[in-house]
Structure 1
């Protein structure tokens, strides 16, 4: 599942995000969603979220439930 649609992202899901400082390299960071920061239903670069560890970035893919 990709991270461009807000309906796919819920608190508690495990996701891969790109942090602001990692945007040029595309390095992914894995974590658990705490808050959704993007209000619009979709975003071309991914929905912005805050992870439980406080990091903020845009969701590139949802890990939890991806194989279901």
Structure 2
């Protein structure tokens, strides 16, 4: 069960998400990580809320990974 990352209210630091990095936008390659900071100020964004992962990578959230469903 995953939800899309277009609503800022559904994204919190510490949750696991799949993001698309800026350089991966043409291919759509996903990167999984844990949210450290939320960078988008608006309540929603059509391309996904921009976040910084704990690894330091920045990208737009494509899906939120429900706890316990990580592969």
Please report the TM-score for the alignment, with normalisation by the length of structure 2.
0.90
User: Which of 20, 25, 29 is the matching residue for 1:27?
Assistant: 29
SS of corresponding position for 1:43: coil
Structure 2 residue matching 1:7: 3-state secondary structure = helix
Distance 1:39 1:57 in 2: 14
Counterpart of 2:56 in 1: which secondary structure? coil
Alignment of 1:35-50 (within 5 A): 35-50=37-52
If the length of structure 1 is used for normalisation, what is the TM-score?
0.94
C-alpha RMSD over aligned residues: 1.4
Report the alpha carbon displacement of residue 43 of structure 1 after superposing the two structures with TM: 0.2
Unpaired runs of 5+ residues, structure 1, are none
* Alpha-carbon distance between aligned partners in 2 of 1:35 and 1:28, rounded to the nearest angstrom: 18
Aligned residues: 67
